């Protein structure tokens, strides 16, 4: 038997959907992507086709300069959805101004010079002319952040990638930065014509620094030898670099049903995006489409939890005399609406009081264990999101609960951020000291390997670093040790 909440929701839902289907004009959802004929425009076209075929949503593409401008238009209401690099969107997500819908591609950072250039490392680009993408593009944002983090002063040239390749071939600039997927047809075309070009590796220490500092934005990656499938092969050997994801994002106030329908369309047509995101060709779309995302929109969570947002009965009634059925359903709802409203008000009041009590109890533990407080707050938030999705509480009550939770969450975030930064700096200092000692006094450094492993394990157990940071440290230590063994073997004329 249906309870009052489920039965009432069915009755009200039928009437609302039927009247909306009969009387309302479908809303156009604007999707801001990128430059004409660019990679983001192609991804946008696939989203539009998937939404139209699967959910009957009207999605309209809108050209822009790229990620940064997309993010700006989204936040000012000039777009409903946007494609953006995850590193560009990171701060807005942390501040709660936008939320993620899905991951749709993985983009790699390419530093490209002429083959006859004397540039071997990023440091060699100091005071050189480097094309950094147009203002408003993701390439522009990532380029400036990369060279700023490396403390390398360059002469930035804000031009589009197409013009940048032309200028590089002519020798008018010294290098260019491109951010895009390995299978970019534009990149392959440009690398296969004109002067022979070369990809410059990113220093491993800079990669480690950015990955540890912004794990939600960057991952260590490699540009595999000959991946562009051109002759001569580019690159001739594996090149270390950084990668960031392409995310479809929207505002928190975007209708959850609309977001849920778009997410379901992406799940149902995931293989269409394998050109940009190869793993989708054979992998699990639900996990791949949300890989690396933290601040998910409730509509995405709804699609992942319940599947197709459209119930079979709703589609049937929409096709069979919806206006007559709607009148009948509206008549029925009149007799139960008051009862449902009263019951919902009572339940909402109890929920609000319960959340307030929980927040007060957690506040007392803030200074002793901010990680546990943060995790418990996120669990409370997730419970409220599910209640909102299930229509157990209203949007107004949900916002009231958020206002109760937000101050303590901000205090947790600030305290954890401070602790994390201190731990990262301590980690870098520890690694630098150990690597120096490995060069100057190898026997002493090798004896300290166990102590370093114990220290990092303790930091992990105390939540001062996360698992990803711990694994990164282990990788760096192992690589340093491996390099030392190779040098020792070469010196002794034996195999490692």
State whether 120 and 237 are in the same domain. yes
DSSP state of 25: P
Containing 155, the helix (H) or strand (E) segment is strand 155-157
In a shared domain, residues 238 and 121: yes
Domain final residue, candidates 226, 246, 266: 246
Q: How many CA atoms lie within 13 A of 466 on its CB side?
A: 12
- 157 and 35 in one domain? no
Tell whether 126 is covered by a domain.
yes
Question: DSSP assignment of 296-321, as one string?
Answer: B-HHHHHHHHH--SS-HHHHHHHTS-
Q: Are residues 239 and 109 in the same domain?
A: yes
- CA dist., res. 303 & res. 40, Å (int): 24
- Which residues constitute the domain of residue 251? 4-103+247-339
Distance CA 15, CA 467 (A): 49
Residue 396 lies in a domain: no
Q: Which residue do the tokens 């209708």 mark?
A: 255
H-helix or E-strand spanning residue 373: helix 370-389
Please give the pLDDT value at position 118: 93
Q: Are 459 and 212 in contact (CB under 8 A)?
A: no
Taking only the tens of pLDDT, the chain with its 496 residues reads 444 445 555 545 554 554 444 444 567 899 999 888 788 888 999 999 998 888 778 899 999 988 999 999 999 999 999 999 999 999 999 899 999 999 998 899 999 999 899 999 999 999 999 999 999 889 999 999 999 999 999 999 999 999 999 999 999 999 999 998 877 778 888 888 756 788 999 999 999 999 988 888 899 999 888 776 667 777 888 999 999 999 999 999 999 999 999 999 999 898 888 888 888 888 888 888 988 888 899 999 988 888 888 754 454 455 555 555 565 566 556 656 666 667 767 777 888 888 888 888 888 888 878 778 888 888 888 888 888 887 788 888 888 888 888 888 888 878 877 777 777 777 777 777 777 777 788 777 777 777 777 888 887 777 777 777 778 877 877 777 777 777 778 777 655 5
Domain for residue 374, yes or no?
A: no
Contacts 24+ apart (CB under 8 A), 169-172: 169/114, 169/194, 169/195, 169/197, 171/114, 172/129
pLDDT at res. 153: 96
Are residues 232 and 259 part of one domain?
no
For residues 98 and 90, what is the distance between their CA atoms, to the nearest angstrom?
A: 9
Residue 47, token pair as written in the block: 């989203």
CA distance 185 to 162: 12
SS3 104: strand
* Nearest of 86, 69, 58 to residue 33 by alpha carbon: 69
CA dist list (Å): 235 to 112, 177, 239: 10, 15, 7
Angstrom distance (rounded) from CA 278 to CA 238: 19
Q: Would you say residue 392 lies in a domain?
A: no
Helix axes 322-363, 395-440, angle to 10 degrees: 50
* pLDDT on residue 3: 47
Residue 285 and residue 270: Cα distance in Å, rounded? 6
Burial of 36: CB neighbours in 10 Å, binned 0-12, 13-18, 19+: exposed
Q: Determine phi and psi for 59, rounding to 5 degrees.
A: -115, 130
- Count of CB atoms situated within 10 Å of the CB of 46: 16
pLDDT at site 442: 77
Cα Rg, the chain, nearest whole Å: 27
- 241 shares its domain with 305: no
Q: Is residue 272 part of a domain?
A: yes
SS3 label, residue 417: helix
238 shares its domain with 276: no
How long a stretch of residues is the chain? 496
Pairing of strands 58-62, 219-223: unpaired
Handedness of CA 313, 316, 319, 323 (dihedral sign): negative
Residue 393 lies in a domain: no
State how far the Cα of 84 lies from the Cα of 70, in Å rounded to an integer. Answer: 7
Q: Is residue 427 part of a domain?
A: yes
Q: What number of CA atoms fall less than 13 Å from residue 10's CA on the CB side?
A: 9
DSSP string, 313-364: HHHHHHTS-HHHHHHHHHHHHHHHHHHHHHHHHHHHHHHHHHHHHHHHHHHT
Are residues 19 and 98 located together in one domain of the fold? yes
Please say which residue of 339, 355, 375 terminates a domain. Answer: 339
**What's residue 340's pLDDT?**
67
Looking at residue 331, its pLDDT comes to 59
From 215, 246, 277, the end of a domain falls on: 246
Residue 492 CA: distances (Å) to CA of 45, 425, 496: 59, 36, 10
Number of folded domains in the chain?
A: 3
Is the same domain home to 115 and 230? yes
Q: How far apart are CA 88 and CA 252, in angstroms?
A: 17
313 with 435, same domain: the answer is no
pLDDT score of 459? 78
Q: How far is CA 109 from the centre of its chain?
A: 16
For residue 330, the model assigns a pLDDT of: 62
- 250 has which bridge partners? 81, 99
Residue 279, domain CATH: 3.40.190.10
pLDDT in the model for residue 97: 94
199 and 258 inside one domain: no
Q: Is residue 154 assigned to a domain?
A: yes
**Does one domain contain both 220 and 327?**
no
């Amino acid at each position: 038997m249906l309870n009052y909440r489920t039965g009432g929701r069915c009755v009200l839902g039928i009437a609302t959907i039927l009247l909306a289907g009969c009387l309302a004009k479908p809303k156009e959802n604007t999707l801001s992507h990128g430059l004409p004929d660019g990679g983001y425009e192609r991804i946008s076209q696939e989203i539009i086709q998937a939404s139209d075929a699967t959910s009957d949503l009207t999605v309209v593409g809108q050209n822009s300069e790229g990620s940064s401008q997309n993010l700006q238009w989204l936040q000012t209401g000039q777009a409903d959805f946007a494609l953006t690099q995850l590193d560009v969107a990171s701060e807005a997500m942390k501040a709660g101004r936008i939320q993620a819908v899905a991951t749709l591609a993985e983009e790699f950072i390419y530093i490209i010079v002429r083959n006859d250039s004397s540039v071997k490392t990023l440091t060699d680009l100091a005071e050189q002319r480097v094309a950094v993408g147009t203002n408003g593009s993701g390439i522009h944002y990532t380029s400036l952040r990369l060279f700023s983090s490396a403390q390398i002063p360059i002469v930035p040239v804000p031009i589009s990638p197409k013009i940048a390749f032309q200028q590089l071939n002519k020798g008018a600039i010294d290098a260019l930065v491109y951010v895009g997927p390995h299978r970019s047809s534009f990149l392959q075309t440009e690398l296969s014509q004109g002067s022979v070009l070369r990809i410059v590796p990113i220093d491993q220490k800079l990669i480690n620094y950015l990955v540890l500092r912004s794990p939600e934005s960057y991952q260590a990656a490699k540009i595999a030898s000959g991946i562009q499938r051109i002759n001569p092969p580019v690159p001739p050997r594996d090149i270390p670099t950084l990668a960031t994801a392409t995310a479809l994002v929207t505002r928190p106030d975007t209708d959850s049903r609309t977001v849920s329908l778009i997410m379901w369309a992406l799940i149902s047509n995931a293989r269409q995006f394998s050109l940009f995101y190869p793993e989708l060709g054979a992998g699990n779309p639900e996990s791949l489409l949300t890989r690396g995302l933290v601040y998910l929109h409730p509509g995405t969570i709804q699609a992942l939890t319940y599947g197709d947002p459209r119930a079979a009965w709703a589609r049937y009634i929409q096709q069979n005399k919806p206006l007559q059925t709607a009148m009948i359903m509206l008549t029925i709802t009149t007799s139960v609406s008051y009862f449902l409203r009263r019951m919902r008000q009572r339940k909402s009041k109890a929920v609000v009081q319960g959340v307030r009590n929980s927040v007060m109890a957690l506040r007392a533990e803030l200074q002793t264990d901010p990680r546990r407080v943060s995790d418990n707050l996120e669990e409370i938030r997730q419970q409220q999101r599910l209640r909102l999705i299930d229509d157990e509480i209203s949007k107004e009550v949900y916002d009231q609960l958020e206002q109760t939770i937000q101050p303590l969450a901000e205090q947790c975030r600030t305290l954890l951020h401070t602790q994390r930064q201190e731990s990262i700096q301590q980690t870098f200092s520890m690694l630098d000291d150990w690597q120096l000692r490995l060069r100057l006094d190898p026997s002493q450094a090798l004896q300290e390997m166990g102590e370093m492993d114990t220290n990092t394990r303790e930091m992990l157990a105390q939540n001062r670093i996360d698992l990803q940071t711990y694994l990164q440290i282990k990788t760096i230590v192992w690589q340093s040790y491996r390099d030392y063994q190779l040098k020792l073997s070469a010196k002794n004329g034996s195999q490692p």
